[in-house]
Structure 1
Amino acid sequence: MHTLRWIGLQNSDERKTLHPPLVLNEPFGSDIMNGLLYVADRDGGTSDDDPSVAVIRQFDMKTGEPVKEIRIEDSPWINDIEVKEDGTIYATQTGDFSGENPNPDTWMVWKVTPDGETTIFVQGKPLNAPNGIAFDPDGNIVVANFGNTGVLTFSESGELLKTENAAQAGSDGLVIMPDGTKYICSVRQGGVSRIRPGEPAELIASNIPNAASMCYDAGTNQLVIPMNQNNGLAFIPLD
């Protein structure tokens, strides 16, 4: 354990008096940039009269206190996020992925400018329940599909530049190394794919239950993967 209750150190009454108040309802993806922790969250969704709205919340990395929140009014929820140095945020809306006829119009990547303007960056196919998102060494936006094996690279203008395929479908976490090597974990099938530039995917790890969003620990050269249903972390050395 590194830090116990870094966020939420205040008691419940004190949290309400913060500006903005400290709120986390259903946090999903996160990213750290320029001393801020960005967290994908949502408000509402408690009843038919209380629609769900995606919210990106920002926290101070030193104090854990809330700094700012940005609502994406036209999105019911977002999954993973990635933040550029200038504060531009890209967020995946996994959308409808269950049943025999999921709606491709619900598959989106949102772009949020530093001043809070929200626009749809990409919508519909070839997205297929987009989940993990990251930047490659050239600054392109890479999206891992949950609905199939697709790993899609888009330019900053939204042009599809490249399509690769993970070794397993059900992608969740996505890590891209400085040399362009991609690691993708499957929350459905419990494996980790590695895609080296110009090469097909190879399965480098398996039997990781509910392998969810993933990060890279540079100090120990290993992948760290939350196991959702196990309340634990899996560590995959890359040596």
Structure 2
Amino acid sequence: MTVAADGTVYATQTNAGGKNNGPETWKVFRIAPDGNVSVLIEGKPLNQPNGIEMDGEGNIVVVNLGDAGVLTFSPAGELLKTEEAAQPGSDGLVILADGTKYVNSLRNGGVSRIAPGAKAELIAEGISGSASMCFDAGANQLVIPMGQNDALAFVPLN
């Protein structure tokens, strides 16, 4: 989940689990500051949406677990831009102030860097079981939990 400047919370639903895990279960929810919950986006182009973050312009960026999609939506839910990570199976997402996106692949263990206006490049591999990640500004690195290994991966950003 991610929180906008006005306190609105956005959260993804990857699927409903069990046999009910098709496009009708892929959602982005909006939770208003007054507690009102609504579905902002449902179905394709979402494909098992997982990571979510706000960009510097107040748009909502979602990464898909089901493919390599990195989707930017307006706060009204309009698709503004489609990018692709270097590997499918995305989980975590970090967006830096300059607009550079970092996406980690739960399924393939790599980290993609997508600079503004550029194609994704793979900057790290072999991070098995990687989950959501965060940016450590003090050390200029990504910190990625590796749940299956009870460990953390540190990816320096040069």
Same fold (TM over 0.5): yes
CA RMSD of aligned residues (A): 1.4
Q: Which residue pairs with 2:86 in the alignment?
A: 167
Contact 1:96 1:129 in 2 (8 A): no
1:188 is matched by which residue type in structure 2? R
Cα distance in structure 1, aligned partners of 2:55 and 2:74:
10
Q: 1:137 to 1:108 in 2, by over 3 A?
A: same
For residues 132-211 of structure 1, the aligned pairs below 5 Å read: 132-211=51-130
- Gap runs ≥5 in structure 2: none
Deviations 1:160-198 (A, max 9, x none): 000000011110000001111000000110000000111
Is 2:5 aligned against 1:85? yes
Unaligned 5+ segments in structure 1 are: 1-80
Who is 1:220 aligned against?
A: 139
- Identical pairs, percent: 63
Decide whether aligned partners of structure 1 residues 169 and 221 sit closer, same or farther in structure 2, where only a CA change above 3 A counts.
Answer: same
Distance 1:177 1:195, change over 3 A: same
Structure 1 length as normaliser, TM-score? 0.64
Measure how far apart 1:85 and its partner are.
2.5
Shift of 1:96: 4.9
Question: What is aligned with 1:119?
Answer: 38
The count of residues paired between Structure 1 and Structure 2 equals 158
The superposition leaves residues 118-152 of structure 1 with CA deviations (integer Å, 9 ceiling, x where unpaired) of 00010000000000000111110000000000000
Structure with max Cα Rg: 1
More strand, by proportion: 2
TM-score, normalising length: structure 2: 0.96
Q: What is the distance in 2 between the residues matched to 1:168 and 1:218?
A: 25
The aligned amino acid for 1:83 is: V
Higher relative contact order (CA 8 A, sep 6+): 2
